[in-house]
Amino acid sequence: MATLATNGKLTETFVNGVERRAIKLGDPFHIDQLAIKHASEGGLGKTEKGNHCQRHHRQTLQTSYDVFIRDVHLIKHIIARIIESLSEEVKEKLGAFKYPSREMDTRWLSNSRAAKYLLKYISVCNDEGVNFWVLLYRELQLVYTDWRQQRCKEMVQWMMSPSIIAGLFFEAELGDFFEVQYAWHAASGELADRAGFRSLELNALYMDHCFPWWESALADFGSKFSKTKQYLDSLDDQAFAQDKLEQLKIGVKKGHAEIAKMTNLLMSAPWIFTLMPQPNYGADVALAMYKFAHEQGLNFDDDLSIVASEWGFHVPPEVPSQQYLAFYAKIKQSPDETTHWLYQLGFMRAMVRDEAKLLTKERGSCRNPKSSTRLLDFAAVYPKLFDQLHSEFALYPSNTRIVEQTHGVERHGY
């Protein structure tokens, strides 16, 4: 490591013979939220702040909360009476009643859960087929004489509106994606003792769940939005249903585009190298990486430190896998960047490089891809390669939610 004196201090400027560069990522957790935001707003439109009469599925979340929170005891009494009038079978389906949650700007998981809550009670109907919310708000509009009377009238209409209900279904199923992402970011992971430091696992999350989820939704809307599609198919007005479906597909395209940006970053150097510990991807990444090095004329055969560490394949296999070709294409897009990171991250150092060569020979199920300790499994077989990756990425934050929270405190403080 070389240093230069700057203002009397030693500054690290070179490592492994190249100028030291910062590793850049952004905030994957925020990107996940943006994907939901763009999908929801792209397919169903934005809400207008302060407009409580707008006909929008997210306004139903806020209106239901506004009405409930101001007269809880009266509404509990009316709810108990409505439930008592339902059949025993419906009562059992209804379960314990919970109060609505308000619509929260940029809190898309909260909105998704609130949408699921409204949908649960829309499916609860009396003997005449009138759903629970319509029964409730019909009674409430006779009770109030202030602004709540108008809100209750609107809720009666909205809770029977195919457009609103389709929006609730779409919002709810968007949350199915984000529930997985949220749980992942909230967990401490394999190596850290607290959440937020899972950078060595981040690429696997995007490859195993995030990007395939949106790719599947883009190719086949019903594969990820089955309840939304089922509801639209059940409508009598199929012209409306088809128009709504096309709107929602536009939203999916916008969500997919946001995730694609992040995936492209993770599939470029230096982040693509964090896939090497993953059993399903590691060998192809290492093979693509050093095939690139071979083509660039980099000297990767001097000072061999491991016996029989010669290449498994230093040219493409006769029938290369699509995954290998995809990794190679990504690595080759920015040759100068890739070459730089090969050196800065230490992959051209003899001991590290030789273990990566051994990794290119790995085939089949040498390590369990479903293991809960994939990083430690990798470390047991390739200790020097793991140490190199761990030293660079282990303390790199996999999200900056703490910074987001600080920003929120500062914003509300003023």
Instruction: Express each pLDDT in 319-329 by its tens digit.
Output: 678 899 999 99
304 Cβ neighbours under 8 A, 6+ residues apart: 310, 350, 354
101's enclosing H/E stretch is: none
More confident residue, 56 or 315: 56
Confidence at residue 361, expressed as pLDDT on a 0 to 100 scale = 82
Q: How confident is the model at residue 348 (pLDDT cuts 50, 70, 90)?
A: confident
Range from 8-12, 241-245, 348-352 carrying the lowest mean pLDDT: 8-12
Range from 36-50, 63-77, 107-121, 352-366 carrying the lowest mean pLDDT: 352-366
| DSSP states of 39-74 | HHHHHH-PPPTT-TT---HHHHHHHHHHHHHT-HHH
Confidence at residue 403, expressed as pLDDT on a 0 to 100 scale = 53
Q: What's the count of helices (H) and strands (E) in the chain, helices before strands?
A: 20, 3
- Kindly report the average pLDDT of the chain as a whole number: 84
**Is residue 97's pLDDT more than 70?**
no
Confidence at residue 414, expressed as pLDDT on a 0 to 100 scale = 40
How far is residue 45's CA from residue 251's CA, in Å, rounded to a whole number?
9
Q: Report whether 3 contacts 10 (CB < 8 A).
A: yes
- Percentage of the chain beyond pLDDT 70 is 85
The ranges assigned to domains in the chain are 56-160, 164-266, 271-393
Q: Length of the chain, please?
A: 414
Q: How confident is the model at residue 29 (pLDDT cuts 50, 70, 90)?
A: confident
Q: Two tokens at 271?
A: 């982040």
